[in-house]
Structures are given as C-alpha cells and as structure tokens.
Amino acid sequence: MLLQDRIALVTGAGSGIGLAVAKAYAREGATVLLLGRDQSKLETAFDAITAAGGSASIAPVDLENELGAVPQLVKGVHERYGKLDILVNNAGQLGVMTPLAAYDPVKWEQVMRVNLTAPFFLTRELMPLLAQSDNAAVINVVSTVAFAGRAYWGAYAASKAALANLTETWAGELQKTAIRMNTVNPGGTATAMRAAAFPGEDPESIPSAEQIAPVFLYLASEHSKERGQHLKARDWMDWRAP
Ligand code: NDP
C-alpha cells in the first residue's frame, strides 16, 4: 500500500475534505490521527476508518482556543509513534462574507487563528517529529483566493494568502531536509463550507471531497518531489500510484 507504516495527522478530520483525506490515507495503510474540535464527529470518523480495517486515533483540539494543548499532543505522538510522516493543515473557517470596512475584528482574529496561526504553531511544534521521518510531507490547504484577493472574502482570503506565502518560506528553509512542504488548492468542493459560501450552487455540479483526495495521496507519497509548490486538486483527480 502507498502509505504503509506512515503516521499522518489531519486537522479538521471530522468532516468535509479532512474526513475524505483521512479515510484515503487509512485505506492506503497509514495510521491517521484525527484532529478536530468536535469529539463526536471524530468518533464517527474513527469508527468508519476502523470498521474498514484502518488504523486511527482521535485528538480533540479546538484550534482557535486550545493551542496550549498542542505540546501535550506532540508528547503523546512522540511516545506512541516516535515520528510523524504526514501533516495536513486542513481545518479552516470561512468567516463572514462582508466588505472589509464592516469586518468584525473579533471574527477577523478568529479566522486568522484557525487558518494561519494554528497551521504555523502546529507545524512548528511537530517539526522534531517530522524530522524523524525519512520522507515527510506537510500539506497546507489554501484556496483560489490565496492567489488573487476577491471582494467580500476578507479574512479568509488574507489568511490563505499568508498560508501560501508561509509555505514557500518554510519550504525554502527545509530545502536540505527530508521534509517537503506544499499547498493544495481544493477548488470548489461539495462540503459544508462551500455550501455556506455559495448557497445557490447545486453540490452535484462540483467534485466531492472524495474525488479531490488523490492530490493529498500524491503529495504524501514517495512519488512527490515538490517543495514550496501550489498544487490544484483538480489537476490530480485521476492520479493513481504507478
Ligand atoms: P468544512 O467546513 O466541511 O471543514 C472544515 C473543517 O475544519 C471541519 O472539520 C471543522 O470542524 C474544522 N475546524 C473549523 N474550525 C476549527 C477549530 N477551531 N478547531 C479545529 N477544527 C476546526 O470545509 P471544507 O472541508 O470544505 O474545508 C477544508 C479546507 O479546505 C479548509 O481549509 C478550506 O478553507 C479549504 N477549501 C475548501 C474549498 C471548498 O470548496 N470546499 C475550496 C478551497 C479551500 P467542525 O466540523 O467542527 O466545524
């Protein structure tokens, strides 16, 4: 299997794209740590993965308010597995769709914490464990608005642009290591967040979270050599391991 003996941590793994990626990784033999803020969603994901023969554990952490719990999480991963091979910073919040002039500063801070500060802090804390892997992949989930701002997308667009930039910076600093860092832009994908952003859209008219998962398999695998690159999930929907 593609990810045999690999240890993966996926944030926002209780629903949407994170859940689909976690399931895809488990199907390929990885042990998947499911991080999210809603314990019941994580338990449902855990049950689905283990019922299908996969290996998983859950890590309930609210990335907005509980970053102080991360060192304890890292200690647990260290004691149990001794390394981390794959980190997917997927959890995200849309915030509000409103003109910047009317953007609530509290909401701004919330979006920035979940979409930007949490991936930075989590990745930094997990770096010693990623360094124990012979081929580690950090995948930061961004958005089309990361590369071109769009009216009314406020904190979400700014946070994703910063995350894409951070990825380039960090990938450069990791050039001589076995840790590759890249981004994935899912493109419009039928999830709760997409429905909130585009309430009139027929979810059947865009790919499902399962359909866009192959790019996450590719980047996590030994086949990927990219560093600091921005991959569009749409371009990789047909990718299968050679
Ligand atoms: P969902 O809303 O379905 O999933 C977002 C996930 O993030 C949920 O599991 C959610 O948990 C979790 N999350 C939110 N806030 C926190 C928090 N404070 N602490 C921990 N976890 C949290 O949306 P998607 O699956 O669509 O989004 C996944 C990623 O893909 C996001 O980064 C998003 O920006 C990005 N993206 C999505 C696109 C799309 O079309 N769907 C397009 C471009 C980018 P909970 O279930 O408890 O809310």
pLDDT, one tens digit per residue, over 94-147 is 999 999 999 999 999 999 999 999 999 999 999 999 999 999 999 999 999 999
73-104 pLDDT, tens digit each: 999 999 999 999 999 999 999 999 999 999 99
User: What is the 240 CA–ligand 1 centroid distance (Å)?
Assistant: 25
Banded model confidence at residue 166, pLDDT cuts 50, 70, 90? very high
Banded model confidence at residue 199, pLDDT cuts 50, 70, 90? very high
- Which residue ranges make up each domain of the chain? 7-236
Q: In 3D, which of 113, 123, 101, 108 has the Cα closest to residue 182?
A: 123
pLDDT of residue 21: 99
Does the structure's ipTM exceed the value 0.85? yes
User: What is the 176 CA–ligand 1 centroid distance (Å)?
Assistant: 32
pLDDT of residue 205: 98
pLDDT of residue 24: 98
Does ligand 1 lie within 6 Å of residue 210's CB atom?
no
Domain covering 7-236 in this structure, CATH number: 3.40.50.720
103 is catalytic: no
Kindly state the average pLDDT of the residues 159-168. 98
Kindly state the average pLDDT of the residues 15-41. 98
pLDDT of residue 69: 96
